Structure 1
Amino acid sequence: MTRSLLIDGHLDLAYNAGLGRDLTLPLEELKERDPLAPRQRATVTFPELARSGLRLCFATLFAAPRTPEQPGYTDPAGARRRALAQLETYARWQDAGHVRVLRSRAEVRAHLAADSAPLGVVLLMEGADPVRGPDDLAFWQAAGVRVIGPAWGRTRFAGGTDAPGPLTPEGKALVRAMKDLGLTLDASHLDDASFWDAAELGVPMISTHANARALVPGNRHLTDEMARHVVSSGGVLGLVFHSRFIRPGWQEGNPRAPLGELTRHAEHYAALVGWDHVALGTDLDGGFGAEKTPQGVDRYCDVWRFVETLPTAVQAGVAGENWQRWLTHHL
């Protein structure tokens, strides 16, 4: 195929830098000195993203909570410190010419029209615990954040993945304030009860990286009704490239899910809402590496192998034009 515009709805760039990965290196060079190897096999660096043709991505501020498997924050102040450190990472990268933080639809249009430009990034906060409260949203908006997912697991705002529950009173106040400021809600990771609470408040939604629950059970994924609602608010659905989110019952150590099974998620969403609302949200190197990606995706450039499994007429839309349309009309 002739490679078209490529936009990714979800990459944890600064989070990986915080774990000691130097994303300015060529991918093979990073692999030689990767602090997360061999447990996670890296797929993302800036040279690799440039080689793939990626023009723009939603790049996260992801403050990971402490779990038995990983260190992380234990209180809102700790979450805020981690997110601020990642914000500073994006600022340093921008100063060095590796990225360009995009804050408006006009900036997105200008960036995509440029013949040569660094990677464009739209800042997405994944898990809202770094936000002190509704009055703090203006600070994060001024810093460039344009999308917020209230949950990852449970936060003080919302129930999330494997942590059922509604929006808390503080969460409802946060979502109302997001709506008033024109910020978009990322529905990825929201538990059903929290999702529908947010829906009732009328905040615009996207789903940067969540697959179809009709194919893989669990509240990490969107029901058909949720997917329809996201699209009814003007949103787009990003597909995530983790085998556990592609094949039901997949466990670490199993053979990686075939690319065709990810294609089934795309086809399922398309049957619900149309191909114009299906896009990429790969989450590559988002706490996992090539050992858990679909078969054939061993580095970021291989994302095109998935795109090529789709009907020819919709490939350009899924690769980037559907996110482009959303960004240039709603950011």
Structure 2
Amino acid sequence: MNPPALLLVDGHLDLAWGAGLGRDLTLELDTLRERDPVATETATVTLPELRAAGTRVCFGTLFADPAAGDARRQALAQLEQYRRWEDAGWIRRLRTGAEVAAHLAAPGAPLGVVLLMEGADPIRDPDDLPFWVAAGVRVIGPAWGRTRYAGGTNAPGPLTEAGRALVTAMRELGVTLDASHLDDASFWEALELGPRVIATHANSRALVPGNRQLSDEMARAVAAAGGVIGLVFLGSFIRSGWNVAQPRVGLAELAAHAQHYAALVGWAHVGLGTDLDGGFGREKAPAGIERYRDVPRFLTQVPKEHRAGVAGLNWARWLTRYL
């Protein structure tokens, strides 16, 4: 059984990207599954499903698929999708800590969405950053794989000259750096420039090797800056070498990442960053996570006194203090 309802805040959901695949996320999940245009994976997320789970706020991405070209066009289309959902009353975009606090205090409010740009290629140059800030973007991860700004997942390298200028502009405009996907060289160079930093969706490299995950030193640096680290629900990010031909990973294995981070930096810096439906479906999620409303099952693996924090209060604290 699921534990009693807790306030959920998810550090990473690719909602508009999923809509761009042809999924109508305003449907109930079972209805979407019956007519899902994506045949290669089983959907776990819709807006009603998030409400049923108790999700009050999420970081919703603007993600430009490098294989699809024209990153700016993709991000603008996703921005328009969030605007349409907001106009229809499905979501409320949140831009400041005060707005987050008021939203969390309002029972029955729609899903609150903080806009996160995953991979900075939609930004033409640092002078273009104010446009995106005015549009509501509050967090930017400069990398996914390699971008013109930074080395990233499976693409080692430092910040480029444009990347250094972008991170500097982010600091000056109060935009938070998402360290997820940054290669080590880019990560450490970016932190020297002094922006606020979080990791919306990154598991521990101590358990799953590779530059997609955070090293212990990186996790400590995020926490030292006041940041929170979101746990990813993707099997291959939970168990090294896992693939979809194997039995699904267990929730206890995901909890091992949480426990490792907590031993390093304390439970106050651990949250959710599920990335569910972010290019994978039920088949690659942990066993027991058949749909998004099952996410609270993971919290039974967390010490009771820290469940509310990991569920959402740690992210809520960060958002109200720093957004």
TM-score normalised per structure 2: 0.99
- List 4+ stretches of structure 1 deviating above 6 A: none
2:46 — aligned with what? 45
For residue 251 of structure 1, what is the amino acid of its counterpart? N
1:304 — aligned with what? 296
In 1, distance between residues paired with 2:105 and 2:196? 26
1:269 — aligned with what? 261
Pick one of 176, 180, 187 that aligns with 2:179: 187
In 2, distance between residues paired with 1:199 and 1:252? 35
Are positions 1:31 and 2:23 aligned together? no
1:22 — aligned with what? 24
What's the CA shift for 1:308? 1.3
Q: Deviations over 1:221-266 (max 9, x none)?
A: 0000000001111100000000000001112311111110000000
Listed as ranges, the matches of 1:168-207 within 5 Å are 168-207=160-199
1:8 — aligned with what? 10
SS of the aligned residue for 2:66 comes to coil
1:108 — aligned with what? 100
For residue 22 of structure 2, what is the amino acid of its counterpart? G
Listed as ranges, the matches of 1:80-95 within 5 Å are 80-95=72-87
Q: Deviations over 1:248-290 (max 9, x none)?
A: 1112311111110000000000000000010000000000000
For residue 37 of structure 2, what is the amino acid of its counterpart? P
1:166 — aligned with what? 158
SS of the aligned residue for 1:325 comes to helix
Q: Deviations over 1:153-193 (max 9, x none)?
A: 00000000011110001100000000000000000000001
For residue 206 of structure 2, what is the amino acid of its counterpart? A
1:58 — aligned with what? 59
In 1, distance between residues paired with 2:252 and 2:278? 21
Listed as ranges, the matches of 1:199-278 within 5 Å are 199-278=191-270
Pick one of 89, 99, 103 that aligns with 2:91: 99
For residue 19 of structure 2, what is the amino acid of its counterpart? A
1:69 — aligned with what? none
What's the CA shift for 1:204? 1.1
SS of the aligned residue for 2:244 comes to coil
In 2, distance between residues paired with 1:127 and 1:251? 25
In 1, distance between residues paired with 2:130 and 2:282? 37
2:143 — aligned with what? 151
For residue 14 of structure 1, what is the amino acid of its counterpart? A
